[in-house]
Amino acid sequence: MFSKFLDAAIVAGVFMIFSPAFCLADTQRWLTDNAMGTTSSHKMENSKLTWYDGAKLTIEGRPFVDSVTSYSRLAVRHKADVTTDVWRNALSAAGVTLRFVTDSPTISASWENAKQPMGHMAWSGSGGLDLYSRDGDKWMFRGVGIPTTTETENVAVIQKFRQEPVATEYLLFLPLYSQVDKIEIGIEDGAKISTAPPRYEGQLPIVFYGTSITMGGCASRAGMSHPAIIRRMLDYPVINLGFSGSGKSEMGVARVLAEIPASVYVLEPVQNMTVEMIEERIVPFVKHLRSKRADTPILMVESPNVWSQGDKHVVWKKAFDQLKAEGISGLHYMKGDGMYRSQEDGTVDRTHPTDLGFYDMAVAYDPVLRQILNDSGVKLDAGK
């Protein structure tokens, strides 16, 4: 039973889908034509809302349709090929989102398994939800679901801004450091909810591989990791394969990455690796990825914490130079210097970024990824 029930509400706005001609009326038609029926819903004790299974909405950021749960990041077949720590981290929902359309002024979410909070990371990020709505060609923050219990279920508040029922597209980021086995979306009686329009069909995702920083430690909200911010900045699909403390570039992980068709592979595991690991693993890791994905750009990225990674950055760059010298094509390099652009320190503990640090990282990535995608023939405005 819930320790507490709280309803939530969202502001809706006019926005466009597919082309400048796709306006509010088109969104309303989409919702009307694709609304989930009452047979897909249920009532919940102590709630005035009607509840729908999130697994029946549009799930994005999940690399494998046969993942362990609807919101985890690896498939059962991968368990034998990765380390125990990678597998444990892969059960978390980092970077996984629900995208949907509803005209309900009130939106709530019920979800399971908000992991015990950590001392250096807000529980709203590690175990909570982060909601955005589409406003024109941008995704705007609308509210956060903060967990209140580590027991089976939480019910989230998402802030209330307006009362009118307006068909609106939403993007809900799931917890960065918690396994989500089940999530339900609650809307007002008489309101409708549907899957989202196929905005990103045919667009291969940007795939990030790395450490706890990639995974989102220590963002204050689930949508404030740099891969999530980039997802909204570029309005482009992103997959987060960050594994806290476990981004060590094992060949099993290279095989997993190679299964995922991508527009760019972003490799940022330096923080978790030793000099010896980089020297032994990175060249064969990248060569395997290139052998399976001959044309996909690969971006090798230094840690933003340059003050502590000097020797590792030297051998990381040496591995990049060796790969280039051996004729491995489509390689790109990004330095860590200047990723944190503010005069204020952008970390919690001189390692893990705050929201400020993650935003700085996303701003640094933005032109680099835009250029790589553009050079590959990817149109970032496709689907708008």
Residue 5 has pLDDT above 70, yes or no: no
**Burial group, residue 259, by CB count within 10 angstroms (0-12, 13-18, 19+):** middle
Q: pLDDT > 90: what percent of the chain?
A: 74
In single-letter form, the type of residue at position 102 comes to: T
**Spatial distance between the Cα atoms of 105 and 166, rounded to a whole number of angstroms:** 8
Mean pLDDT of 265-283: 98
Residue 10 has pLDDT above 60, yes or no: no
Mean pLDDT of 291-300: 98
State the average pLDDT for the chain: 89
**Burial group, residue 344, by CB count within 10 angstroms (0-12, 13-18, 19+):** exposed
* Predicted pLDDT of residue 52: 96
Q: Which of 242, 268, 251 is nearest to 73 (CA)?
A: 242
Task: Show the beta-strand stretches assigned E in the chain.
Answer: 41-43, 50-53, 58-60, 97-102, 107-112, 129-135, 138-145, 153-156, 168-173, 183-187, 193-195, 206-210, 238-242, 264-268, 298-301, 331-334
Residue 196 has pLDDT above 70, yes or no: yes
pLDDT band at 160 (very low <50, low <70, confident <90, very high): low
**Spatial distance between the Cα atoms of 268 and 213, rounded to a whole number of angstroms:** 9
336 near 313, Cβ under 8 Å? yes
281 near 250, Cβ under 8 Å? yes
Q: How many helices (H) and strands (E) does the chain have?
A: 9, 16
* Predicted pLDDT of residue 338: 87
Is the bond leading into 218 cis (omega within 30 degrees of zero)? yes
Residue with tokens 């923080």, as numbered in its chain:
271
Two tokens at 234?
A: 């570029």
Q: Is 356 helix (H, G, I), strand (E, B) or coil?
A: helix
Residue 199 has pLDDT above 60, yes or no: yes
359 near 339, Cβ under 8 Å? no
Report the chain's terminal Cα–Cα distance, integer Å: 42
**Spatial distance between the Cα atoms of 71 and 183, rounded to a whole number of angstroms:** 9
* Predicted pLDDT of residue 343: 85
**Spatial distance between the Cα atoms of 246 and 82, rounded to a whole number of angstroms:** 10
More confident residue, 69 or 27: 69
Tens-place pLDDT, residues 200-255:
988 999 999 999 999 999 999 999 999 999 999 999 999 999 999 999 999 999 99
Residue 17 has pLDDT above 80, yes or no: no
Mean pLDDT of 15-26: 45
Q: Is 111 helix (H, G, I), strand (E, B) or coil?
A: strand
* Predicted pLDDT of residue 19: 31
Mean pLDDT of 73-96: 97
* Predicted pLDDT of residue 285: 98
pLDDT band at 23 (very low <50, low <70, confident <90, very high): low
Least confident of 90-104, 266-280, 340-354: 340-354
Mean pLDDT of 270-299: 98
**Spatial distance between the Cα atoms of 147 and 124, rounded to a whole number of angstroms:** 7
More confident residue, 105 or 293: 293
In single-letter form, the type of residue at position 234 comes to: L
Our CA dihedral for 254, 256, 262, 264, rounded to 10 degrees, sits at -30
**Spatial distance between the Cα atoms of 104 and 48, rounded to a whole number of angstroms:** 13
Mean pLDDT of 33-58: 91
Tens-place pLDDT, residues 315-345:
999 999 999 999 999 999 999 998 998 888 8
185 near 194, Cβ under 8 Å? no
